[in-house]
């Protein structure tokens, strides 16, 4: 819950005002469609660590042992636990940084950061390639739901197997800003 509260505080500047300032944080928290504090990592080694430089003070360090045959061979995912309606404006926001790049690289381009179906055929709803470097960066990827999706049918996904690397990821938040 602490991560959600601090993430909501950071994202206040990202959402249009929806209520009086005293209520704005709780209104924004109600728009969070995933669990920012419980991402799942597949294909890589992940460990939670303290990092005062990132919002919330915790980061997930993900070690990608080698470039994958597919960029999704190592990925971070976060299930979307709330229903999404056709036309809803969605905002994926997360902090990331490159701790250690392949052969000394100081930047990397993560080929996919977005929202997709949670099961086969894993069709993307929206996504972008995003660049990260050695400093913490708040990354924002915007999209719109093409149709109605029940809770659990979508997931946030970030593909990481584009290189042998170590990536730190802070809170991963999907905001459903409605129509």
Digits of tens for pLDDT over the chain (179 positions)? 233 333 333 333 333 333 334 455 568 899 999 998 889 999 999 999 999 999 889 999 999 999 999 999 999 999 999 999 999 999 999 999 999 999 999 999 999 999 999 999 999 999 999 999 999 999 999 999 999 999 999 999 999 999 999 999 999 999 999 99
Q: Is residue 98 part of a domain?
A: yes
Q: By residue range, what is the domain housing residue 170? A: 33-176
Q: Is residue 38 part of a domain?
A: yes
Q: What's 64's domain CATH number?
A: 2.60.120.260
How many domains are there within the chain?
Answer: 1
Q: Is residue 20 part of a domain?
A: no
User: Most distant CA pair in the chain: distance in Å?
Assistant: 50
DSSP per-residue string spanning 15-57: SPP-S-HHHHHHHHHTTB-B-TT--EEESSEEEEEE-TTSTTS
Q: Is residue 154 part of a domain?
A: yes
Residue 34 gets the label, from left (phi > 0), alpha (psi -120 to 50) or beta, of: beta
Q: Is residue 14 part of a domain?
A: no
Asked if 99 and 166 touch (Cβ cutoff 8 Å), the reply is: yes
Residues in the chain: 179
Element (H, E) at 9: helix 2-11
List, in order, residues 6 or more apart from 160 with CB less than 8 Å away. Answer: 44, 62, 64, 71, 74, 75, 76, 110, 167
Residue 121: asked if its preceding bond is cis (omega within 30°), the reply is yes
Q: Is residue 13 part of a domain?
A: no
Q: Is residue 5 part of a domain?
A: no
Asked if 167 and 174 touch (Cβ cutoff 8 Å), the reply is: no
pTM (whole model) above 0.75? yes
Asked if 95 and 139 touch (Cβ cutoff 8 Å), the reply is: yes
Q: Is residue 24 part of a domain?
A: no
CA distances from 30 to 26, 94, 154, 156 (A): 6, 17, 18, 17
């Amino acid at each position: 819950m602490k991560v959600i509260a601090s993430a909501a505080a950071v994202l206040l500047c990202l959402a249009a005002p929806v209520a009086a300032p005293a209520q704005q944080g709780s209104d924004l928290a109600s728009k969070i469609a995933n669990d920012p504090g419980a991402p799942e990592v597949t294909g890589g080694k992940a460990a939670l660590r303290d990092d005062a430089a990132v919002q919330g003070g915790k980061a997930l360090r993900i070690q990608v042992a080698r470039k994958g045959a597919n960029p999704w061979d190592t990925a971070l995912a976060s299930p979307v636990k709330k229903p999404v309606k056709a036309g809803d404006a969605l905002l994926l926001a997360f902090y990331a940084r490159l701790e250690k790049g392949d052969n000394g690289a100081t930047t990397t381009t993560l080929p996919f950061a977005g929202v997709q179906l949670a099961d086969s055929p894993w069709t993307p709803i929206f996504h972008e390639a995003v660049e990260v470097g050695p400093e913490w960066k708040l990354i924002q990827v915007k999209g719109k739901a093409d149709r109605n999706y029940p809770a659990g049918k979508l997931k946030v996904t970030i593909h990481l197997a584009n290189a042998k690397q170590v990536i730190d990821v802070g809170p991963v938040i999907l905001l459903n800003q409605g129509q």
